[in-house]
Copies of this chain bind each other. A is one copy, B any other.
Amino acid sequence: MPDINPASGFCPIEKAMGVVGSRNAMLTMREAFYGTTRFDDFTERVGMSAATAAANLKALTAAGLLERRPYQLHGARMRNEYVLTAAGTDLMPVLLGLFDWGAKHADGAAHLGLRHDDCGEAIEVQVTCAGGHRVRPEEVSITLIANKHKATGARSDHNDR
């Protein structure tokens, strides 16, 4: 693989973990997926303190995963709700991947499953390529991309630095 110095913060995984790398941040995103939008509901359903909820909602909003949207019901005062942005929705494969992994491997956690509304089948997260092939772990290479159109390839296998 190209010389991606991990310590330099270049790795996208690292960037992503900086945003949703804490338990409560990830669970906050989970709740956003489930449709939770209000402050107190996030607080209660994730099981975190109000201070943590405020901090996480603020950070996730600043990072562009959630959007703070004022709304007003009839006869009620103005309120804010937190809704998923496109960037937040893009995190779905990660959440579902974690869900799958946890359901399969964490003891005693196999109580929940995910289904496709339309057909009722179990949901799975797959790694594929644009060519439509199913990809196995050992078939993945990391490449440096100069821009949208050019890519400099390099095998990733077993050698860093």
Which A residues form the contact surface with B (CB < 8 A)? 1-2, 4-8, 10-19, 21-23, 26-27, 30-31, 33-36, 41, 44-47, 64, 84, 87, 89-106, 108-131, 133, 135, 137, 139-147, 151, 153, 155-161
Point out the residue from B1, B12, B14 that lies within 8 Å of A35, measured CB to CB.
B1
Establish whether residues B96 and A161, one from each chain, have CB atoms under 8 Å apart when the complex forms.
Answer: no
How many monomers of this protein are in the complex? Answer: 2
Main secondary structure of the interface of A (DSSP, over half): mixed
Establish whether residues A87 and B105, one from each chain, have CB atoms under 8 Å apart when the complex forms.
Answer: yes
Point out the residue from B13, B101, B115, B157 that lies within 8 Å of A90, measured CB to CB.
B101
Q: Point out the residues of chain B lying under 8 angstroms from A151, CB to CB.
A: 108, 113, 115
Q: Point out the residues of chain B lying under 8 angstroms from A91, CB to CB.
A: 97, 101
